[in-house]
A and B are shown apart, each in its own frame.
Chain A
Amino acid sequence: ETGVTQTPRHLVMGMTNKKSLKCEQHLGHNAMYWYKQSAKKPLELMFVYNFKEQTENNSVPSRFSPECPNSSHLFLHLHTLQPEDSALYLCASSQGQSSQLAETQYFGPGTRLLVL
């Protein structure tokens, strides 16, 4: 266990549904990340939050909406998704300070999403 949890672990949703993915880290970190990993494709960084402020939005469609209420929790709200959005969604966290040791990212187990 890395100290980063994600729920749900699996999700099936229709294109008209609204759902949310949740990530929680118990490491005392200040930076949290959402990644998308599609089959046979590399990790794609979606969003970065550092000290609850969004510092990066990697040209992600607006049907994905992140929320970071505090340094320990990160949500990804989903609405009107497309079948091509089916993927493994990974949350990660890091210390979030200017230190070499702080840059290591620890990943949660991921949410496997299927959009029908």
Chain B
Amino acid sequence: QKEVEQNSGPLSVPEGAIASLNCTYSDRGSQSFFWYRQYSGKSPELIMSIYSNGDKEDGRFTAQLNKASQYVSLLIRDSQPSDSATYLCAVNPNSGNTPLVFGKGTRLSVIA
């Protein structure tokens, strides 16, 4: 069974700090990786996608992928209270239109 594991948190960081969110996955053949942000009572919103080993930066967000370790992370620099949300890691186990497998999410709280 394909699994995506995340620490449920809450992860508390002070405003301005770097928040580090981690995700591991079980299917070594996974090709595509996504981070979604979900505010309480709202629907998930895509933040980042990453397909190759290494880092991918977009503004204050950096996604890191290590396929050998089956590990993907999301770093949020200069964390703001508005970043407080649940962050969902999603993995596509194969190329093509296989449904994404979602982790349970990590709740992030940025303290002003």
Q: Which residues of A contact B (CB under 8 A)?
A: 2, 31, 33, 41-43, 45, 48, 50, 55-56, 88, 90, 94-98, 100, 102-110, 112
**From DSSP, what is the main secondary structure of chain A's interface residues?**
mixed
Beyond contacts A42-B104, A90-B44, A98-B96: 17 other A-B pairs, Cβ-Cβ < 8 A, are A31-B97, A45-B102, A88-B41, A90-B43, A94-B97, A95-B97, A98-B97, A100-B95, A102-B97, A103-B92, A103-B97, A103-B100, A104-B46, A105-B34, A105-B46, A107-B45, A110-B43
Other-chain contact of B99, A33, A95, A98, A100 (Cβ < 8 Å): A33
Chain B residues bordering chain A, tally (CB within 8 A): 25
Q: Decide: A96 near B97, CB < 8 A? Known: A104-B46, A104-B49, A107-B44.
A: yes
Contact check, B32 vs A106: say whether CB atoms are below 8 A apart: no
Q: Which residues of B contact A (CB under 8 A)?
A: 31-32, 34, 36, 41-46, 49, 51, 88, 90, 92, 95-100, 102-105
